[in-house]
Amino acid sequence: MPQNKMTDKAKENNKSLTADAFSVKSRLKNSVVTPPPAAGAFKANPLVKQTSFRKFYNRGDLPIALEHDTKGNKIAWKVEIEKLDYHHYLPMFFDGLRETKHPYGFFARQGVHDMLEHGGNKITSVIPQLIIPIKKALELREAKVLCTTLKVLQHLVVSADLVGEALVPYYRQILPVLNIFISMNCNLGDGIDYGQQRRENVGTLIQETLEAFETYGGQDAFINIKYMVPTYESCRLN
């Protein structure tokens, strides 16, 4: 009988104890430490709140319609783009960059590019209103939305004079997510990355965007980019 008690006690001593990492229990002799959960830096965040773009589109308040031709779908503007109130419409279309469902995503994406192409000097004064929609789109961390937003940023910096310089004070809002995803390049060895051909490689698009920021952002652009993205190397100094 005493021997059985000793055996049971030995089994209890040998029984492992599951403990969280860095906890007090993790220091015990028979504890099995479970690793801490992943930080989720690359995890996509769901689009929780309806965008203002979708709300205005569903109400019929946007001067756009879908037009079909032999080349595919395109936007038919009900008014001349040059006559649009850019302070009202451009931030709204930028807010729609978070949309992935058709037709919202298509209209927002194509509408932004059309307005940037015809906006001229009206774009520069709207830059402060575009930062929050850009930040929200990037913080979704969804690959398709990231690629769309990065292409728009590349178009934005060349859309008018001084736009690149006007973006420099807002690098702290725009660049943190780019710093996380800049290393996301697909290394396929001898294989073919078709996503790169379609310009859907996030790491490559981020590199192109940062180079565009440096090229058109003036003399203070590089030092501000380097502060937020330490691994970035100048495309001009080298």
> Global pTM?
0.79
Q: Where are the beta strands (DSSP E) in 70-131?
A: 72-77
What pLDDT was estimated at residue 19? Answer: 75
> First-to-last CA distance in the chain?
82
SS3 216: helix
Structure tokens at 105: 């995503």
What pLDDT was estimated at residue 47? Answer: 62
* SS3 sequence of 53-85: HHHHHHHCCCCEEEEEECCEEEEEECCCHHHCC
Which residue shows structure tokens 């001593």? 13
Task: Give the Cα separation of 217 and 174 in Å (integer).
Answer: 14
**Rounded to 5 degrees, what are φ and ψ at 116?**
-70, -35
What pLDDT was estimated at residue 25? Answer: 74
Q: Which residues of the chain are modeled with pLDDT < 50? A: 1, 6, 9-10, 186-193, 195
